[in-house]
Amino acid sequence: MFFRNAGTVFSGRRGPESFSSIARFAFIAGFVTLAATGFLLTQYHPDKVRNVAAKLPHLNLNPDSEHQQAIAEYERLVFNVSDNELHPIDRLIAASRQAHDALVAKQSFDVATAAAKYRERRGRHPPPGFDKWMEYATSHDAIVVEDFFDRIYHDINPFWGLEPNQLAGRAQSWHHVVRVRDGKATGVGDITGRVPWLKLWTDLVSEAAPYLPDVDMPINYMDESRLLVKWEEITALVEKGEKAREMVEPEKALRKYRGLSFIDNAKNANETKPYDPDWIHNNSPQYWDLSRAACAPGSPSRDVPALKDFSRSPSIPFDWHPAYSSEGYVKNFTGSADSCTQPHLRSLHGTFIEPLSISTSTELIPLFSGCKLTTNNDIIIPGAMYLTSDPFYSGGNGHGPQWSQKKTGIIWRGVASGGRNKKENWSHFQRHRLLEMLNGTTVTALEHDGARAMTFDMAPLQMYDYKRRRNMSIGDFLTEFADAGFTDLLCFPAGECDYITPHFKALPSKPMAEQYVNKFIPDADGNSFSARFRGLLLSTSLPLKATIYAEWHDDRLAPWQHFAPLDNTFQDLHAVLDYFTSTAKGDAAARMLASVGKRWGEKVLRRDDMLLYTWRLLLEFARVCDENRLKLGYTDDLIPVAAEGSA
């Protein structure tokens, strides 16, 4: 039973005891790489700590560094509480730090190491041109960890099961293409009256173009991702590709891509007309049904059909312990985005209720998109909005004041998107839910008068047990703390807002830069990904994030390290906010995460990092579109004397 009935009691969880010694260990191990706070530890577990500290490299603690102080302050506080005062989130922070440090320790600094790690993880030689890619990466201080690029292989692998010339032809003839020929990139396609994405992506690819083979990047010009191929079909394609995969002898590897003149010169009209598969334009809620067909058989959502009637209140599955969570808090953020394991999302996210537009194919074609559902088969590139300097998304050059200058508050502004919200279905939309949960008036009424909110129930006390929840003061707290509202209610039909005005009022918008005065900023999906996440990470505020969309950067960001993750139900929202605001330790944790996230973002979310991601992706895509693809490979590192005529 997934869904909570009125009165269902939450069925208890494992106590936290079993975690604490591991958590402590994790913290101590984590310090080795922290390079900042060794001396503080000595005040606490003297013996253990001295052992660790003895192994620490010489540390240069700069007492003026806001970043180092942010870390030191949290550690001081977390080490001064007894095990049973540790919050589950403290344990998650410790575990996340340890996992992330271990990941970053796998960094490659030279092409031979990077190529070896590539072969180990991918089972092929890297594509030709890998050396130039690595050269650019190292000369631009990029952090190269093979795992950071997993997404590329997840996305590209099914295409190894398709025929290369057909792939190349379909890519070349698509409606909107970033085309690379002879080391130059151009945008092809009619963009009259459209957003400037083609130019943004073309400008990015231009920077890599001198080092790229001829390649076509067919791009999706809709907000929504487009391809939902049945799980069985994708699996068969991936298996076909894997069966053919080989690690050719280094001397026999081909270094030169075939090139695309064979298509460019073809006079055949069939090859220049865009190939459009059957597009499904049927409106909701069949989208859920298309999506679940892309889930593995046996996964919880696969056999749960779309809801037909959204007139009933949304029900949140409280009595439920997903594998991606620990003690009620998201631990595995990738897992939390997966709709295949969460059948209740069929009625808790606008994408599955009434998306603005649907144009979906169940046939696999090459198509590049800025984001996708975990079930989609589009190939992800960095969202075009991340490439603009538009302060609407990025907040511009200001990233907000220091933590101590900030207001202890949470702010959110945005439009009531997520899909087409209507009288019959709006209470199921994620942004509406987020705002009602942050509305002090609504929550106070819920706590004191038993008035039902339209979009949510209070999460059970048994699951999230804290003082404010017990004394029913979450509403009062939010009244002071939260400033969250829609800037446009986007009523449907337009102008007929009676159904929504008792619950929401439109507020004036606020530039991102002004929002950064607050400590906390939640980020929720709109019609697709929110496009503000990068700006939020780079700010001095702490982003709180839930999403069902995958993005290019997912493998390089860690929840509870760079941002605070939320469940897509938001059932954990109040408890997470309580953790951050009820003790000095919580505030220090928020300050630390905001600072660590910003620092990390400045290292791995730069334009150069988006360039390197796209560059590597295009090398892979050019290879999979090449009829010699099984033999193409970078192997110079394995051949003692470089052979002549490298491409």
Would you say 131 or 327 has its CB closer to ligand NAG? Answer: 327
Q: C-alpha angle with apex 388: 512 to 380, nearest 5 degrees?
A: 105
Residues contacting residue 635 through CB under 8 Å, at least 6 positions apart: 125, 248, 250, 251, 253
Would you say 2 or 275 has its CB closer to ligand NAG? Answer: 275
CB of 553 to ligand NAG, least distance (A): 16
Would you say 203 or 363 has its CB closer to ligand NAG? Answer: 363
Q: Total number of residues binding ligand NAG (CB under 6 A)?
A: 31
Q: C-alpha angle with apex 347: 342 to 348, nearest 5 degrees?
A: 75
CB of 606 to ligand NAG, least distance (A): 26
Would you say 324 or 600 has its CB closer to ligand NAG? Answer: 324
CB of 347 to ligand NAG, least distance (A): 9
CB of 278 to ligand NAG, least distance (A): 17
Site for ligand NAG in 447-506 (CB under 6 A): 467-468, 471, 473, 485, 503-505
Taking CA atoms, 6 is separated from 319, 463, 570, in Å, by 11, 15, 18
d(CA 381, CA 225): 12
Would you say 174 or 324 has its CB closer to ligand NAG? Answer: 324
d(CA 129, CA 131): 5
* 310 is a contact residue toward ligand NAG (CB under 6 A): yes
d(CA 562, CA 601): 8
d(CA 418, CA 530): 10
Residue with token string 């997404």: 151
Nearest alpha-carbon partner for 132 in 85, 204, 183, 167 = 183
d(CA 458, CA 474): 10
Site for ligand NAG in 321-360 (CB under 6 A): 324, 332, 334-335, 338, 353-354
> Is residue 180 classed exposed, middle or buried when 0-12, 13-18 and 19+ CB atoms within 10 A define those classes?
buried
Residues contacting residue 375 through CB under 8 Å, at least 6 positions apart: 228, 291, 292, 294, 295, 339, 340
Site string (535-574) toward ligand NAG, x via CB under 6 A: ----------------------------------------
CB of 440 to ligand NAG, least distance (A): 8
CB of 217 to ligand NAG, least distance (A): 25
Binning the chain into helix, strand and coil, the percentages to the nearest 5 are: 45, 10, 45
d(CA 424, CA 427): 8
Q: Which stretch binds ligand NAG (CB under 6 A): 52-60, 141-149, 262-270, 560-568?
A: 262-270
Nearest alpha-carbon partner for 594 in 569, 625, 561, 624 = 561
Site for ligand NAG in 505-534 (CB under 6 A): 505, 507
Site for ligand NAG in 54-83 (CB under 6 A): 76, 80
d(CA 96, CA 27): 10
Interacting residue with ligand NAG among 220, 284, 291, 614 (CB under 6 A): 284
d(CA 400, CA 509): 17
CB of 262 to ligand NAG, least distance (A): 15
Site for ligand NAG in 564-623 (CB under 6 A): none
Would you say 586 or 633 has its CB closer to ligand NAG? Answer: 586
DSSP output for 52-103: HHHTSPP----TT-HHHHHHHHHHHHHHTS-GGG--HHHHHHHHHHHHHHHH
CB of 253 to ligand NAG, least distance (A): 31
Is residue 572 a contact partner of residue 167, using CB atoms and an 8 Å limit?
Answer: no
Structure tokens at 341: 């394991």
Interacting residue with ligand NAG among 88, 128, 285, 343 (CB under 6 A): 285
Site for ligand NAG in 78-137 (CB under 6 A): 80
Residue nearest to ligand NAG (CB): 335
Nearest alpha-carbon partner for 151 in 628, 543, 549, 631 = 549
Q: Return phi, psi of residue 414, to 5°.
A: 175, 180
Residue with token string 């980020």: 523
CB of 61 to ligand NAG, least distance (A): 16
CB of 4 to ligand NAG, least distance (A): 21
Site string (215-254) toward ligand NAG, x via CB under 6 A: ----------------------------------------
Nearest alpha-carbon partner for 420 in 353, 483, 374 = 353
Q: Which residues pair with 520 in a beta bridge?
A: 410, 542
Interacting residue with ligand NAG among 202, 220, 377, 425 (CB under 6 A): 425
Would you say 186 or 473 has its CB closer to ligand NAG? Answer: 473
Site string (264-283) toward ligand NAG, x via CB under 6 A: ----xxx-------------
CB of 212 to ligand NAG, least distance (A): 30
Interacting residue with ligand NAG among 422, 599, 606, 631 (CB under 6 A): 422
Would you say 269 or 642 has its CB closer to ligand NAG? Answer: 269
CB of 238 to ligand NAG, least distance (A): 15
Residues lying near ligand NAG in the complex (CB under 6 A) are found at: 76, 80, 268-270, 284-285, 310, 324, 332, 334-335, 338, 353-354, 422-425, 439, 441-442, 467-468, 471, 473, 485, 503-505, 507
